[in-house]
Structure 1
Amino acid sequence: MRYLPIFYQLLFFPLFLSYQATLPSSSSSSSATQLCSHDQSAALIQFKALFSINKTASKHCEIRSYPKTNSWRESIDCCLWDGVNCDNITGQVISLDLSCSWLSGTLPSSSSLFLLSHLQRLDLSVNDFKKSKISSKFGLFSSLTHLDLSRSWFSGRVPYEISYLSKLVSLDLSSASAIDLISQSFESVLKLEQSTLNGIFRNLTEVRDISFDGINMSSVDPNSFMNLSYSLTSVSLTGCDLRGTFPENSFNLPKIKYLTLFNNPSLSGQLPNSNWSSPLEDLVVSGTSFSGELPESIGNLKSLRGLGLIRSNFLGSIPRSLGNLSHLGFLFLSYNNFSGKIPSSLTNLTQLRILALNFNRLEGCIPDNPNAFPNLGFLDLSDNLLSGTTPSWLYTHPSLNVLDLGNNQFIGHIKEFQQSVLDYINFKNNTFQGTIPRSISKLVNLTFLDLSSNSLNGTISWDIFSKLQNLTLVILDLSHNNLSGIIPQCIGSFSKSLSSLNLKMNKLHGIIPPTFARGCGLKNLNLNSNHLEGPLTRSISNCKDLEVLDLGNNKINDTFPHWIVALSELQVLVLHSNKFQGWIGASKNPQSLSKLRIIDLSQNNFFGPLPISFIKNFKGMMNLDEGKAVRYMEERDNAYDYSYDYSVALVVKGLEIELVKILTVLTTTDLSGNNFEGEIPRVIGELNSLRGLNLSHNNLVGHVPPSLGNLSQLEWLDLSSNKLDGQIPRELVDLTFLSFFNVSNNQLVGPIPQGKQFNTFENDSYEGNKGLCGLPLSIACSSNEPRQPPPSMNSHNEDGSKFEFGWEVVLIGYGFGFIFGVAMGYVAFRARKPKWFVTLVEGGHSSKQIVGERKGRTNILRL
């Protein structure tokens, strides 16, 4: 259990207890009255010889793991061996517990294990049997009451012979650990077919506990679960790829206490609407396609201790009858479509420790009951439509550790905290006003604080944070407020413990303190959009792990910080709209900024030639693996299963936006709005993973280099307002993702290239170039103009396969390209639409984006 985030430990804890209850004792029998027979001892020694001892074979064990077979010696009675139990009269081995024993090797059907015909309990769980098949000979153990082969890397089909074990009370064939099933990183190698399942349901009439977690059951008809034995008390079917509709009557088994269908996204069903009465204590249908309303009859489950309905399709109001479940300890209703108000009856749940209602459509106020939830430790109401002021009991509750109200519509002041056990506070993206409460300094256990995107004002009292000795799991975010004051010298001591400091979009002034000391642990430093001035402190180079440095939209006055080459992990550098000036010059470090993927030096006063030596080192913009899954720059807080997204403000396709998530494949270079001169270096064409290039509003001369045609991933290219001459290179036509192109206000001549993306660009892309001709301009090219070859209507993929070119390909780039099209669809699939989710239609091409306006600030685009 210690490997799981707290959120999921608590979700699975009751099921884990039931699992533990079925485990046999690992202690040896010291009261055996007869020596172990020679044939039993020999069989065990032969079995031991099949395996090597490897600690990693039991790395996912949730109890103490050790090599039990190391104690097996022929000179000692086998009934005294670790993990072995014998019958006190016959001396026959009746129990073998080798769980978590570091066994590594295959288990063939010829194994001497199957000579132990008197076994009643057999536990081989959490070892590594190297994808061995489960032998049909397991069906020979006719006296077996407990069989556990879980998480030991068996593969293939579960043999029908398992159904011969008619005396089984407990059967666990789970093929994956809980953490693998949660992360969805597990691919099932064990399959259970319909005929075998039918045999198990028909013959195992005494079975109480069944666990098939992680077994591929995609071919099974869920209606077969109507035949579950009435003796069952525990059924666990997590991550089984069940498909179809789960029968309602299975929730009414007369003895059932634990039922989990977690992570079967193709499994649909509804909870019983009436006459629902069972001894259920824990019910988990999270990660399924169960739908409908949560019935009032759920209030009849008087024994219920835990209810998990995360990421399903439930809707309607939360039933008031939940307040009748006096034993309820955890309630997870997150990521559904529940609406209406939070029932005040829930505050009567005196045993409730965890309440998670996040990502729904709940509205209204939080129930105001001074005696609410006396044992609550975890409260997550984020990502709803809740409003009003926050009740006083949130600030006085004696046992509350986690408080998440982010992404709602709360107003008023954040009150002073009257307790000291809180260690996690998230109030981001509301409309809280006033100052930051000074009582935060008394929250001595605080490890996470996010008050961003509110209307907080006043001067930041930094001494509040200086007393928080435990503010080390990751983040201090006060961005998007109206906070004023200076950044104090003590920021140096914070930087050793924090990995992310985000103060962007406030009213901070003064200089950035030169106190970032050695050992600085910052990975993300974002001070964008404040009133900071003076030189840029060199002490930032002590933050060796820095990945994002965003200082844009300030008044910093300095030359280019060459010391930045010491930041070998830097991926994002934004110095946009400051007062930097001078030559950038050459880099003396051949590996400088080799991981940089986003650089924005725009709107400053840099001059001289473009920094070729730096550009040559931008390895992070070359040859990226585009085949990997879409990922974002973030920090994970495993204790609370929380991810914190890095953000950055950029000019993208002519619009200034804030990317509140940064795709790891996003690569841009923006050197616009300076006084760079000379020619565009051909080496830029080597940045073949570049998505955006902006060199506009400089004094660049010469031809547009044909090497820019190598930038096959390019989505926007802005070379406007320079002194470029010559023709537009024909090679640019092959940039099929290009959706924004601007070469206006230069001295270009000749015909505009035709075909593919160039058929979508309008006049304003070319205006101010008197020598250009051809569509879309009204100026026709004369016969003396050099002719360009007509665009081919056929093209080939990189693998040589042929495809027809047409408008569909044009629109790939014309809408929003890969970053703003494909990636947007991916995000829309992963999360329910927040309230600022809209659909844009441009040029007949639909592209879903998360775009919003907050209090007159810049648009927010979530990638």
Structure 2
Amino acid sequence: MTSVNPRFFMNLSSSLTTLDLWESWLGGNFPNSIFRFPNLKRFSLGGKGNLTIDLPRDLKSLQSLSLGCNLEGSIPASIGNLSQLTDLSLYFNNFNGQIPSSLANLAQLTFLDLSNNQFSGPILASICNLRQLTSLVLSSSNFSGQIPSSLANLTQLTSLDLSNDQFSGPIPASIGNLRQLTSLYLSSNNLSQQIPSSLANLTQLPFLYLSNNQFSGPIPASIGNLRQLTSLVLSFNNLSEQIPSSLANLTQLTSLDLSNNQFSGPIPPSIGNLRQLTSLVLSSYNLSGQIPSSLVNLTQLTSLDLSNNQFSGPIPPSIGNLRQLTGLVLYSNNLSEQIPSSLANLTQLLYLDLSNNQFSGPIPASIGNLCQLTSLHLYSNNLSGQIPSSLANLTQLPSLDLSNNQFSGPIPASIVPGMFSALQNLEILDLSHNNLIGKIPNCLPKSLSVLNLQANYFDGNIAFGFPKGCGLRNLNLHGNQMDGLLPRSLVNCRMLEVLDVGNNNISDTFPHWLESLPDLQVLVLRSNKFHGSVQSTKESPSFPKLRVLDLSSNYFVGALPVRYIENFNAMMDPHKDGGSPKYMIVLTVANSYQYSLVVTWKGFEYELQRILTVFSSIHLSNNKFEGEIPDVIGKLSSLKGLNLSHNNLTGHIPPLLGNLTNLEWLDLSSNELAGKIPDELVYLTQLSVLNLSNNHLVGRILQGSQFNTFENGSYEGNLGLCGIPLSKSCDGIGTSPSSFQEKDALWRFGWRVVVLGYGCGVVFGLLMGYHVFRTGKPKWFVSLFDGRPSQSGRKMRKARRLVQRRS
């Protein structure tokens, strides 16, 4: 109705009693003369168009009024003149201020909905005079303060919704007087203290929602008196102690969510009495013991989530009796022994997550019977044996993650046609961190977005033939024994964001042909046998989105790739994404997958379990690069790490490196660099690791800022350097550190001399300011990462669990 002129409605008969224009998409000014229709009793106007109308000031016949037109300002006090109103809905507007006290004049009102507005302050006590109200909805309207105990006067209420506001303090005990309530919604506030036992008086209540608050203490045992409850949601609070066995009295419950609290102890076996349950969520707290076998009585369950607890022992085999289950989530516990073959009975299952446990032994072949599965997560366990060929039956699967286990042997030939062809919906395949061997099959489903096979023992050529239209975003073959050439058909993967083939035996020249990939952000070729020059052969911009480049430990020669560096636009803006941290992910039908990356720092490898979209680093060490460090590197202002060590670089350290104010580690060691350490490096206030050792540097070591924290190892092997922290004195070489280093640095880092008073106060202020500047502690490097040091050996791979991968 966007083309309809609202004045058309003025032509309607004067006998009109009801006009409903809700969700009409009308626009413009609706004429107020509509309220002059003498018999109008019910009027609704609202939608997503730009519609305005003034509230009526006097219309004795009006009984029902609904306006949702993005109206602004405050509700006029004249609303109290509509004395015949029984229903008033002013939701989805932008009303602000407080509710007018004149609303208390609407003595006939049975339904009041002021939700989704911008009110402020508490609920006025006068609203509690509307004794005929059966429904009161004030949700999502920015109300604050405490819930008034005078609400208990509204004894006819059947529905009370105060959710998504800013109410604080306790639930008043008097709310237990509202014995007619059939729904109570108080979720998403700042309510605190204990849940009052008086709620047990609300014996007609089928729905109780108290989630996303700050309630503490135990669930009152008396809540078991609410025998009409069908839905109980207490998630995201600070509730503690044990789950009361009295919940077993709530035999009508179909949904129970106690997740994200601080409960402890076992699940009471009596919970098996809740035979009507279809959804049970007890995740994210400290429940322990074994999964009670009584859960198998809940034969109506469609969803069971016990994740992020401390359950131990096996999955009871009888769980196979829960044949209505569509989702079974047990990740991040201490469950052990073998995965029971009885899971094959759960033929309705869509989502199965047993990751981050201690399951051992093989995957039961019968799991291939779960033909409806759309998500299977078994990563980070101790599973072993071969990957069963029956997984080829899971043709609906978009995501298969078996990483961080002990699977061995090749990918069986019997499942190559299945896993890589029959699984035509597969978007994510992660078999990383296992003991798999042999060749990688050369047939991949076109739907594949992520292929992660890192940290196995695959060998031979990378034989993939990537077709045109390839949708691959992440290819990770890091830490295998692959050899031969990098396949040129990768240029067909126009959506590729991450390519990591590090720590293999690939022998090839630098893949200049990857320049044409518009979205490539991470390129890791480290520890292979790449050779030759890395200079760009194109005039047009190359690698515009590249943020991580690791070519270390190869046989590259010649000058550093200046033309490429000039085009690293994504490394030139440290504030590109802004706001809260974002991570590189792939979204699939079932869930999301977060990219990981192995980086080297101080000789150790770290696996970042998540990659920030603003993370930038260049690692070109252990090659045969020569010539000078180009000034253009000083433009890469978002760089977190720069490692050019163990090359044949000559000349001076460019002063423009002082522009890299986000740099956290800098390694220029084991080159042929000469001259002084540039004064400008004192501006690198984020620097926590510096290695300039084994060069030909001379002069005084800088003082101030982070340079007060570096030890001998940062400078050893430079015979011409002197000063702290080296034992070699600078006597006769120069005076105290330059005024540039001390005075200018003080201003650059925001330090100001504050006069505290006369005499001793001035001296004290100067000394304290200088002391804090000289002894400022560095930011520890690991703050950059969401990972931890990796360690060699298959036994330690379990330490690198991918617990942050989940959406």
1:211 matched to which residue of 2? 137
Residue 298 of structure 1 is matched in structure 2 by: 223
Q: Is the 8 A contact 1:587 1:614 kept in 2?
A: no
Post-superposition CA distance 1:823-843 (Å, at most 9, x none): 98xxxxxxxxxxxxxxxxxxx
Partner of 1:546: 496
Q: 2:195 aligns with which of 262, 265, 271?
A: 271
Residue 808 of structure 1 deviates from its aligned partner by 5.8
The RMSD of aligned alpha carbons is 3.6
**Does the aligned pair in 1 maintain the 2:176–2:199 contact within 8 Å?**
no
Pair 156,644 (structure 1): closer, same or farther in 2 beyond 3 Å: farther
**CA 1:684/1:851 → structure 2, altered by over 3 Å: closer, same or farther?**
closer
Contact kept in structure 2, 1:794 and 1:802, CA below 8 Å: no
Q: 2:44 aligns with which of 84, 91, 97?
A: 97
Determine the C-alpha separation between the residues in 2 that align with 1:585 and 1:142.
Answer: 83
TM-score (norm 2): 0.84
Given candidates 411, 422, 430, the residue that maps to 1:477 is 430
Residue in 2 that maps onto 1:519: 469
SS of 2:316's equivalent in the other structure is coil
Shift of 1:259: 1.8
- Return the offset for 1:753: 0.8
User: In the aligned structure 2, how far is the partner of 1:754 from the partner of 1:586?
Assistant: 39
Q: Provide closer, same or farther for how the CA distance between residues 850 and 403 of structure 1 changes in structure 2, counting only shifts above 3 A.
A: farther
Contact persistence 1:596–1:621 (CA under 8 A): yes
Query: What are the Cα deviations for residues 650-707 of structure 1, in whole angstroms up to 9, with x where unaligned?
Result: 1235532111122222222212222222211111100011111111222222111111
1 CA distance for matches of 2:124 and 2:576? Answer: 42
Can you list the C-alpha shifts for 1:626-657, whole angstroms capped at 9, x where unaligned?
Answer: 783332325476987x5533221112355321
| SS of residue matched to 1:733 | helix
Map 1:356-375 → 2, pairs under 5 A: 356-369=281-294, 371-375=296-300
Residue of 243, 255, 278 corresponding to 2:168: 243
Structure 1 CA distance for aligned equivalents of residues 680 and 82 of structure 2 = 73
Per-residue CA distance 1:120-152 (angstroms, 9 max, x = gap): 222224x433x3443333322222222222223
Partner of 1:232: 157
**Residue 815 (structure 1) aligned with residue 739 (structure 2):** no
Whether 1:190 aligns to 2:153 is no
How far off its partner does 1:406 sit? 1.7
Is this contact kept in 2: 1:501–1:524, CA < 8 A?
yes
Cα distance in 1 for residues equivalent to 2:235 and 2:426: 24
1:627/1:512 CA distance change after superposition, 3 Å: closer
1:119 and 2:65 equivalent? no
Residue in 2 that maps onto 1:727: 676
Shift of 1:568: 1.6
- 1:702-741 to structure 2, matched below 5 A, reads 702-741=651-690
Rate the CA distance shift 1:851–1:777 in 2: closer, same or farther, 3 A: closer
TM-superposed deviation, 1:393 = 4.1
1:375-418 residue CA offsets vs partner (Å, 9 max, x unmatched): 22222222221221222244553222222222222222334423
Shift of 1:709: 0.2
Deviation at 1:333, TM superposition (A): 1.7
Quick one: structure 1 residues 349 and 661, their matched pair in 2 at CA, closer, same or farther if it must change by over 3 Å?
same
Q: What is the Cα deviation at residue 68 of structure 1?
A: 7.3
Mark the CA change 1:107 to 1:209 in structure 2 (over 3 Å): closer, same or farther: same
Letter in 1 for 2:441: P
Aligned amino acid, residue 303 of structure 1: Q
Shift of 1:539: 2.9
Matches within 5 A, 1:342-357: 342-357=267-282
**Residue 634 of structure 2 aligns to which amino acid in structure 1?**
G
The aligned counterpart of 1:149 is 90
Whole-angstrom CA distance in 2 between matches of 1:69 and 1:712: 52
Structure 2 distance, partners of 1:858, 1:762, is 34
Letter of the aligned partner of 1:544 in structure 2? R
Preserved contact between residue 125 and residue 148 of structure 2 (Cα < 8 Å): no
Aligned match for 2:395, one of 468, 471, 476: 468
User: Which of the residues 691, 694, 700 maps onto 1:751?
Assistant: 700
Q: Deviations for 1:65-111, whole angstroms, at most 9, x for unmatched residues?
A: 444799x999xxx9xxxxx9x9xxx9712112335x334233345xx
Distance verdict in 2 for CA 1:686–1:462, change over 3 Å: farther
Compare 301-310 and 341-350 and name the one that shifted more: 341-350
Q: 2:491, 2:387 → 1: CA distance?
A: 26
In structure 1, the partner of 2:440 is 487
**1:656–1:234 CA distance, 2 compared to 1 (3 A):** same
1:200 aligns with 2:127: yes
Q: 1:316 to 1:133 in 2, by over 3 A?
A: same
C-alpha separation in 2, matches of 1:322 and 1:852: 45
Structure-1 residue corresponding to 2:106: 165
What is the identity, as a one-letter code, of the residue corresponding to 1:146?
A: D
Q: What percentage of aligned pairs have identical amino acids?
A: 42
CA contact (8 A) 1:480 1:506 kept: yes
Residues 595-621 of structure 1 deviation map (CA, whole Å, 9 limit, x = unaligned): 222222222232222111111111111
Q: Identify if the C-alpha distance between structure 1 residues 548 and 393 changes in structure 2 by more than 3 Å, giving closer, same or farther.
A: farther
Query: Structure 1 residue 214: deviation in Å?
Result: 1.7
Would the aligned equivalents of 1:733 and 1:756 in 2 still touch at CA under 8 Å?
yes
Aligned residue number for residue 419 of structure 1: 346
* Equivalence map 1:783-798=2 (5 Å): 783-785=732-734, 788-790=737-739, 791-792=741-742
Where does residue 128 of structure 1 map in the other structure?
Answer: 70
Contact preservation (8 Å) 1:457, 1:484: no
Distance verdict in 2 for CA 1:355–1:285, change over 3 Å:
same
TM-score by length of 1: 0.79
2:420 paired residue number: none
- Compared CA separation, residues 551 and 262, structure 1 to 2 (3 A): farther
Q: What are the equivalent positions in structure 2 for 1:630-649 lying under 5 Å apart? A: 630-635=580-585, 643-649=592-598
**1:22 equivalent in structure 2:** none
Partner Cα distance (2:523, 2:775) in 1: 31
Q: CA deviation at 1:173?
A: 1.2
Correspondent of 1:282 among 198, 201, 207: 207
- The structure-2 alpha-carbon separation of the partners of 1:508 and 1:344, relative to structure 1 and needing over 3 Å to count, comes to farther
Q: Is the 8 A contact 1:450 1:476 kept in 2?
A: no
Which structure 1 segments of 5+ residues have no match? 1-34, 49-57, 59-64, 79-83, 176-188, 825-848
Distance 2:582 2:774 in 1: 27
Alpha carbons 1:739, 1:813 under 8 Å: kept: no
Residue 182 of structure 1 is matched in structure 2 by: none
> C-alpha separation between the residues in 1 aligned to 2:748 and 2:737?
24
Partner of 1:781: 730
Instruction: Provide the residue aligned with 1:447 in structure 2.
Output: 374
Once the two structures are TM-superposed, the CA of residue 759 in structure 1 deviates from its matched residue by: 0.7
| 2:627 pairs with one of 661, 672, 678 | 678
Letter in 2 for 1:95: R
1:615 and 2:565 aligned: yes
**Aligned with 1:566 (options 516, 519, 525):** 516
**Which of 619, 622, 629 is the matching residue for 2:579?**
629
Structure 2: unaligned runs, 5 residues or longer: 1-10, 399-424, 755-768
Q: Residue 795 of structure 1: CA displacement?
A: 5.8
d(CA) in 2 for partners of 1:228 and 1:596?
A: 65
Cα deviation, 1:473-505, whole Å, max 9, x if unaligned, reads 954434344444543223x21xx3243333333
Report the alpha carbon displacement of residue 797 of structure 1 after superposing the two structures with TM: 7.4
Give how far 1:200 is off.
0.6
Q: Distance in 2 between matches of 1:651 and 1:784?
A: 37
Gap change, CA 1:456 and 1:774, over 3 Å in 2? same
Q: Any idea what SS the aligned residue of 1:620 has?
A: helix
Distance in 2 separating the partners of 1:557 and 1:716: 30
Amino acid corresponding to residue 814 of structure 1 in structure 2: P
User: Larger C-alpha radius of gyration, 1 or 2?
Assistant: 2
Counterpart contact for 1:37–1:92, Cα < 8 Å: no
3-state DSSP of counterpart to 1:98: strand
